[in-house]
Amino acid sequence: MFWYHNMTKHSYNSVRTNPNRLLWEDQPRTYKNYPNSYTKYKLDLDTEEDSFLYHIAGLTEKKTYPSGEYYLRINPSAGALYPNELYFQVRGIEGKKDGIYHYEVESSSIVLLQAISEEEGIEPYFGYKTAMRGYLFLVSAVYYRSSWKYKNRAFRYCLLDAGHLLGSIEASALLKPHAVQMCYRIQREKLNRMFGFEERECFLSGCSMAVPIPHQEVKALEFALFYVEASGTFEKNPLIEEAYEATAELKACKKGMKAPKFTYNTTTLKETIFNRRSQRGFNEGAITKGQFNFIMEMIHQPILSDCDEQVTVYVIVNRVLDMPLGLCKEGKYIKYGDFSRKAGYLSLEQYSLSMQGAVTFFLTSSSENYQALYQKAGIIGHRLYIASLYLGIRCSGIGAYYDDEVNVFVENDEMVLYALAIGK
């Protein structure tokens, strides 16, 4: 999969010789709404289950600009383009009809797409032989929402944003509390056809927040939904579609068997999830060593997963009290010195973030399963958001950087997946 990654690298020259010129009249919609012929249930935030669903992907704030009104969501997205959609199966949840639903973000509703019986469901598409009580989530990508702005590199953003959405599910599940397992070995092709995506939308992953129902075998549910427009406008991108097909089949996956252990106060965590925002700049404030250690502990918690790929975390320490300036790899210093300006330059010269922040993170990997490892980077990124904001520290994800120059600086040749900065 290195070919796609290499073809979509940024460099000092590439961002100056091949700038994106946006056609605003072609800007895609960021909401998918099924017709009113489907049964829709408005979320009631006073109920536990609806509040849980809302804290995965709900709308939290409206901003007004000359170009129009924009709504921010609980889950972050590059450029606020929100290329991902959320679907889920419910089985055995009090107050919910067993069935397959779509999360309709614009109306804060869930849409019943297909009822299920005790004998049938989508469990077999996740690899389960028995019925599962709880939620089975599916995350898709409407890639043109992102490629409209980010062109060929958009598949990276779709995967990172999908990881953030999985991270949002993990964070919201802590309010119940319940463990979540990431599921990448789903039957993508079959599910894409059943949901009527017609190559303009595609499933990337799933996750399970469910337990087996003893002695209740289940057959694969067969259905065929008609196509529902998810972006309004559309322009085919052969490179992204080829990259998706080339990475859909996972190979030699190692499972993540250990559950994470988080130490959040539920009330404060709920406020943190709702108030999450991406910072656009920092004021060169420092954080404490204790805060840094807490954040590092939270992002390095294991991830329950059916394909747990290795992701390496590099940290540039700019402003952490009682810690030397320098570059760390997985918590150990490999270089000492003031690299704040270098961090700003590497992050596509976003100096107000990586240079003025307290800590800059670069995530890299040489693993083979591209979709799984990139979404894992998004999950780690979301954990960084939650842990930082829980402590009153701001965070910003940075999907654009000078790929090869980051490799030279951190002294590896792995794929650079993500950059993030935290600070005050």
CB-based contacts of 139, cutoff 8 Å, min separation 6 = 84, 85, 86, 87, 162, 165, 166, 203, 204, 205, 206, 207
Residue 391 belongs to some domain of the structure: yes
Note whether 82 and 163 are same-domain residues. Answer: yes
More confident residue, 370 or 16: 370
- Asked whether residue 287 carries a pLDDT value surpassing 90, the answer given is yes
Residue 253 belongs to some domain of the structure: no
Asked if 113 contacts 60 with a C-beta cutoff of 8 angstroms, the reply is no
Q: Residue 67 — pLDDT band, cuts 50, 70, 90? A: low
Exposure pattern of 345-374 as b/e (b: 16+ CB <10 Å)? bbbbebebbbbbbbbbbbbbbebebbbbbb
- As a whole number of angstroms, the distance between CA 253 and CA 369 comes to 8
Q: Give residue 26's pLDDT.
A: 85
CB-based contacts of 238, cutoff 8 Å, min separation 6 = none
Asked if 34 contacts 228 with a C-beta cutoff of 8 angstroms, the reply is yes
Cα 88 vs. chain centroid, distance in angstroms? Answer: 16
Residue 208 belongs to some domain of the structure: yes
Note whether 228 and 93 are same-domain residues. Answer: yes
Residue by residue, DSSP assigns 383-408 as: HHHHHHHHTT-EEEEE---BHHHHHH
Q: Give residue 166's pLDDT.
A: 98
How large is the average pLDDT for residues 334-338?
Answer: 98
Residue 268 belongs to some domain of the structure: no
Long-range pairs of 90-94 with CB within 8 A, sequence gap ≥ 24:
90/134, 90/135, 91/116, 91/121, 91/131, 91/132, 91/133, 91/134, 91/136, 91/210, 91/213, 92/133, 92/134, 92/213, 93/49, 93/133, 93/134, 93/135, 94/49
Q: How many domains does the chain have?
A: 2
- Asked whether residue 314 carries a pLDDT value surpassing 80, the answer given is yes
How large is the average pLDDT for residues 159-173?
Answer: 98
- Asked whether residue 61 carries a pLDDT value surpassing 90, the answer given is no
How large is the average pLDDT for residues 167-196?
Answer: 96
Q: Which two tokens stand for residue 23?
A: 């056609």
Residue 69 belongs to some domain of the structure: yes
Helix, strand or coil, per DSSP, at residue 306: coil
Note whether 228 and 295 are same-domain residues. Answer: no
Note whether 141 and 76 are same-domain residues. Answer: yes
Q: Give residue 411's pLDDT.
A: 97
Note whether 93 and 215 are same-domain residues. Answer: yes
Residue 323 belongs to some domain of the structure: yes
- As a whole number of angstroms, the distance between CA 398 and CA 353 comes to 9
- Asked whether residue 393 carries a pLDDT value surpassing 70, the answer given is yes
Q: Tens of pLDDT along 82-138?
A: 999 999 999 999 999 999 999 999 999 999 999 999 999 999 999 999 999 999 999
Residue 124: CATH number of its domain: 3.40.109.10
Residue 131 belongs to some domain of the structure: yes
Q: Residue 351 — pLDDT band, cuts 50, 70, 90? A: very high
How large is the average pLDDT for residues 343-363?
Answer: 97
Note whether 403 and 342 are same-domain residues. Answer: yes
Q: Give residue 25's pLDDT.
A: 83
Q: Give residue 225's pLDDT.
A: 97
Note whether 214 and 312 are same-domain residues. Answer: no
Cα 291 vs. chain centroid, distance in angstroms? Answer: 24
Q: Which two tokens stand for residue 189?
A: 């092709």
Rg value, the chain, Cα: 21
Neighbouring-strand partners of residue 120: 219
Q: Tens of pLDDT along 236-252?
A: 999 999 999 999 999 99
Asked if 90 contacts 97 with a C-beta cutoff of 8 angstroms, the reply is yes
In the chain, the amino acid numbered 301 is Q
- Asked whether residue 353 carries a pLDDT value surpassing 70, the answer given is yes
The model scores a pTM over 0.95: yes
Note whether 231 and 109 are same-domain residues. Answer: yes
Q: Give residue 1's pLDDT.
A: 63
Q: Residue 340 — pLDDT band, cuts 50, 70, 90? A: very high
Note whether 152 and 217 are same-domain residues. Answer: yes
Domain that holds residue 186: 2-247
Note whether 12 and 63 are same-domain residues. Answer: yes
Q: Residue 23 — pLDDT band, cuts 50, 70, 90? A: confident
Residue 84 belongs to some domain of the structure: yes
Note whether 238 and 369 are same-domain residues. Answer: no
Q: Which two tokens stand for residue 47?
A: 């109920």
> Could you give the residue ranges of the DSSP H alpha helices within 174-318?
188-194, 238-247, 266-275, 289-299
Q: Of the residues 247, 270, 289, which one is the last residue of a structural domain?
A: 247
Mean pLDDT of the chain, nearest integer: 96
- Asked whether residue 202 carries a pLDDT value surpassing 70, the answer given is yes
Note whether 326 and 406 are same-domain residues. Answer: yes
